[in-house]
Structures are given as structure tokens and as C-alpha cells.
A and B are shown apart, each in its own frame.
Chain A
Amino acid sequence: MHAPTESRLAAVKRILRYLKGTSSYGIHLTRGSSLSLHGFTDADWVGSVDDRKSTSGYIVFLGTTPVSWKSGKQRTVAHSSAEAEYKALADGTAEVLWLHYLLTNLCFSPSSVTTIWCNNLGATYLSANSIFHARTKHVEVDYHFVRDRVAKKEIQIRFISSKEIKYFNAMNVNKKFNNSRLKNLYS
């Protein structure tokens, strides 16, 4: 920021052009939407060309309304796509639990067990039981709190195919699209 270059300015201008094309987009709030909480998580494995770290993203819906979302680069490099997805799942779980507590405090207990949808089977299995083999040995212990919460039945993790995560991809969270695919997702 202290010495911006012309190429950085070009990147900022690109963002502004994107805003111009999407300024009419918004969040659609509907009446009578149910109070069930569900989340989607995703990650792009080794997405950063500079340091090979992955980007995680999550979005949480209350009924049909998106209430919380985030996309951010992970702190450490993931050895496998399942690990990257598992980290995203941990971030999403933390957010979902927080929202669950908040809703409970406001006397709006979510009607059913909160479901988090994850598009990686490996990460889904990891959340269910300890397949503690060589490739997941190094996954930090703090991520395993997901498994704890599943065991306590506070949340459930279910698999969803990438094609079905229309909402999630339409958020343009962390995937690069070609034009036709993008148009298809927004429609």
C-alpha cells in the first residue's frame, strides 16, 4: 500500500469493473423462511500460485437466506485436497456453532440438527471416524473438534456433489470460471 505499482492499480480497476457488472446483485430475503440452519463448505486445493496454500470458503443459510459467509486463505499448506476441505469444514463448523448459540440465545432454536454440506468424501469420512492414516497424521488437533461435535450430534456432515452446490458457486467464492459456466450458475 505504501508504494502501489501500475499493475496493482490495474488489478483494482478490474475489481471495480466486476462491481459495475454485479451492482444489482443482492441477497433475497423471503418471508416465512424456515429456521433451519445449514452450511456449505468448499476449498480449492493449492490454489495460490505463490505459496501453494489453499483457500477455504463457507456460507451459512438460515432457511433460504444466506446469513454468514467467508472466503480466506488457509494458514498452512494442505498435503491433500481432503485436508484442505477438512480445514474449510472446521472453519464452517465454528461459524455454524456460533450462529447456533446466537439463535438459541435469541430464543429461536433451530428446528433440526444443523447440517453442513461438504463436497469432498474424504473430509466427510474424516469427520465421522478416525481414519488416522499417514496422510492425515499431521492435521492439527484443533481441526478435529469437528469430529467431536459430530459425535455429540450437534452437527451432521453430509456429502454433496460439486454440481449441486449452485448457491455456493454462484457466490463466486473461490473458483475460477469460464464465462459460460458462470452464466449458467447465476441463471
Chain B
Amino acid sequence: MLSQHKYVLDILCRASMSSCKPVDTPVSVSKLDLSSTVLFSDPTRFRQIVGAL
């Protein structure tokens, strides 16, 4: 069995989401709202998480 279990746990830990509620699908069925212009306060953190995926 080949899995990335530990890698996933590490990413979740780094994102402080180890105790989040799991979901069955990676994307919501409703459309991603691209018109929103509210900026996330910590772009570096955003890039770290996305980069780890």
C-alpha cells in the first residue's frame, strides 16, 4: 500500500488544521466566487499552504 498519509498530516499540521472536519469532495459544487476582492491579510502563509499541496 502506497500512500501519502504522513505528508498529508504534516501539511494539515502546518496549516493548523489538524482537527478540521473532513469532507468528501475537494471542491464545492457551487461556483468559486472570483468577484470577491477582500484580500487575505497574510499572502505569504497562503503561498506556503498552496505550495505544499
Contacts and interface: CB of A to CB of B under 8 A. Distances in A.
B22 to A, nearest CB: 3
Contact of A16 (B1, B5, B12, B43): B12
A15 B42 CA distance: 19
B38 to A, nearest CB: 5
Secondary structure call for the A interface: helix
Interface residues of B, number: 36
A169 to B, nearest CB: 12
Contacts, number: 109
Contacts of A14: 23, 26-28
Contacts of B4: 23, 26
Given A5-B36, A9-B46, 15 more contacts: A4-B40, A4-B43, A6-B38, A6-B39, A8-B46, A12-B46, A13-B17, A14-B27, A14-B28, A18-B23, A18-B24, A23-B5, A28-B1, A28-B2, A172-B26
Interface of A: 1-9, 11-29, 49, 172, 176-177, 179, 182-183
